[in-house]
Amino acid sequence: MKGFLQGSATAIVTPFTADGVNFDAFGKMIDYQIANGTDALVVLGTTGEPATMTEEEKVAAMRFAVKYAKGRTKLIFGAGSNCTANAVEASRRAEVLGADGILAVTPYYNKCTQGGLITYYREICSAVQVPVIAYNVPGRTGVNILPETMARIAEIPNMAGIKEASGNMAQVMETARPIRGKCDLYSGEDALNLPILAAGGKAVISVVSNLAPKLVKQLASAVLKGDLAEANRLGDLLLPLSKACFAEVNPIPVKAGMKLLGFEAGDPRAPLTPLESEHLPPLREAMALCGLEVKA
Residue numbers annotated as active site: 135, 163
Residue 102: strand pairing partners: 77, 132
If you count them, how many residues does the chain have? 296
Q: Are 72 and 104 in contact (CB under 8 A)?
A: no
71 CB-contact burial (10 Å; exposed 0-12 / middle 13-18 / buried 19+): exposed
Separation of alpha carbons 76 and 38, rounded Å: 13
Cβ neighbour number for residue 119 with a 10 Å cutoff: 12
SS3 at position 184 = strand
> Measured in whole angstroms, how far is the alpha carbon of residue 218 from the centre of its chain?
17
Q: Are 106 and 78 in contact (CB under 8 A)?
A: no
The residues, ordered by sequence, that sit 6+ positions from 236 with a Cβ below 8 Å of its Cβ are none
DSSP code, position 291: T
| Nearest by Cα to 146 from 127, 159, 126, 164 | 164
Q: Cα separations (Å) of 212 from 92, 123, 250? A: 32, 36, 16
SS3 at position 268 = coil
Angle at 172 between CA 169 and CA 174, to 5 degrees: 115
Residue 178, sorted as left (phi over 0), alpha (psi -120 to 50) or beta, turns out to be: alpha
Indicate the residue type of 186.
Y
